[in-house]
Amino acid sequence: MAFELPPLPYAYDALAPYMSAETLEFHHDKHHQAYVDNGNKLLQGSGLEGKSLEEIVKESYGKNQGLFNNAGQHYNHIHFWKWMKKGGGGKSLPGALQKAVDSDLGGYDKFRADFLNAGATQFGSGWAWLAVKNGKLEIMKTPNGENPLVQGATPILGVDVWEHSYYIDYRNARPKYLEAFVDNLINWEYVEELYSKAS
């Protein structure tokens, strides 16, 4: 199926001051749009035209790098917009998710430290993740447009650490951006929704 840019699920200025309208205008309207447009061009003739986005991501991995890069980033960004909300972040996790964070990741504080560390130590462009693998939560990081789907896991939360996600608001201070994301932006209800589907 052809890729389409979904609208942002909130106003461009909804996430300020943690993520500015200018960042969202560039990131959503320019960067995500480019992944959609390039992905659609590369999908033509790939043999994967009739597949779902998840199938295209998994089946192009290691075989059709150009298509994988754009389809992967399309998948990652569709969720990234929904992984944030105004007034989000912090320790108020829905119950089932909180239990899993306690049992699989050593509690919220350890999750926070490990997730921030994964984002800060991803060298160059990429993503840090909370994913479900073999029924358990895991923190992961991936380069470029990759995501946990290609490692047999289901992503339930991800943060974009490409410079286009933070350079306007934070310049080179990636750790500050990551702290703002975790403490003020995460839409835990959406994370919980994906967690309940994955487990």
Question: Where does this chain bind Fe ion (CB under 5 A)?
Answer: 160, 162
C-beta separation of 177 from 169 below 8 A: yes
Give me the helix-helix angle, 95-105 and 108-121, nearest 10°: 70
In the complex, the smallest distance separating the C-beta of residue 155 from Fe ion, rounded to whole angstroms, is 14
For Fe ion, the closer of residues 88 and 145 by Cβ is 145
For Fe ion, the closer of residues 104 and 163 by Cβ is 163
For Fe ion, the closer of residues 3 and 162 by Cβ is 162
In the complex, the smallest distance separating the C-beta of residue 2 from Fe ion, rounded to whole angstroms, is 20
Give the C-alpha distances (Å, rounded to integers) separating 63 from 48, 60, 69, 147: 12, 5, 11, 16
Which residue's Cβ lies closest to Fe ion?
A: 160
In the complex, the smallest distance separating the C-beta of residue 78 from Fe ion, rounded to whole angstroms, is 11
Instruction: Determine the Cα angle at 84 with ends 87 and 89, to 5°.
Output: 50
For Fe ion, the closer of residues 162 and 195 by Cβ is 162
What is the 8-class DSSP label of residue 101? Answer: H
Give the C-alpha distances (Å, rounded to integers) separating 100 from 128, 143, 191, 192: 18, 26, 12, 10
For Fe ion, the closer of residues 160 and 169 by Cβ is 160
Let me know how long the chain is. 199
In the complex, the smallest distance separating the C-beta of residue 199 from Fe ion, rounded to whole angstroms, is 27
In the complex, the smallest distance separating the C-beta of residue 102 from Fe ion, rounded to whole angstroms, is 31
